[in-house]
Amino acid sequence: MESLTDTTRQDQRKVAVLISGRGSNLASLIQSQSVYRISAVLTNKAQARGIEHAIQNGIPYQTFDRSEYSSLKAQKAAIYRAIRDLQPDIVALAGYMQIVEPGFVKEFRGRLVNIHPSLLPDFPGLDTHKRVLAEGGRKHGATVHFVDIEVDSGPTIAQAECMVDSNDTEESLQAKVLKLEHKLYPWCIEQISLGNIRYNNGKVECDENIKIPDGFMLPPKS
């Protein structure tokens, strides 16, 4: 376990990343650091493979394995305390497989961001690739959104989509969507860090002159 020492420059936005598994989105966020800096990686699983990305890149990390705490509530409380101590500008959930408590969501609302492997509001929850295939879906993709108190809810920041081919499997769809995620998530965190995308009273605001990469979709203006 490493201490969470802050090495972020003053001109960069501080991002704390929460993971539970292999950390492929964490790796893409690390590779794209410029206007933001990942100040720490936190995980609820001591064996999360994604920790290696933090180690290899000299990023402070901390584990909060369930076995170390008397209850799930105590585990979550420890994670939330650590994040508060970090005082991040953005908290990025990157394959973080715990439901975030409403109190913490409200405290960090507008700074708490998640990526989900579907075109929300379609297919919230788990097994998205399997469910898309089972329902004969023709389009699939990824969504980055600000987190709200319901699971996989909250205003959409941006989406990227792919077509579902007749010969697609769960594995091939997952690979397609992961490629989208690894481009979409860093772009969204960058735009939030620059102030080009903002959370305002339950809605997402975007600058008029924001440059949108090919294949990305912003939510329609309300």
Which residues does the annotation mark as catalytic? 116
Q: Where are the beta strands (DSSP E) in 20-155?
A: 36-43, 61-63, 90-93, 112-116, 139-146
The residues near 20 (Cβ < 8 Å, ≥ 6 apart) are 43, 44, 45, 48, 95, 96, 97, 98
Which two three-digit tokens encode residue 166?
Answer: 């007749």
N-term to C-term CA, the chain: 45
Structure tokens at 61: 């990390």
Rounded to an integer, what distance in angstroms lies between the CA atom of residue 123 and that of residue 32? 28
In contact, 92 and 20? CB cutoff 8 Å: no
In the three-class reduction of DSSP (H, G, I as helix; E, B as strand; rest coil), residue 75 is classed as helix
Structure tokens at 49: 């493979």
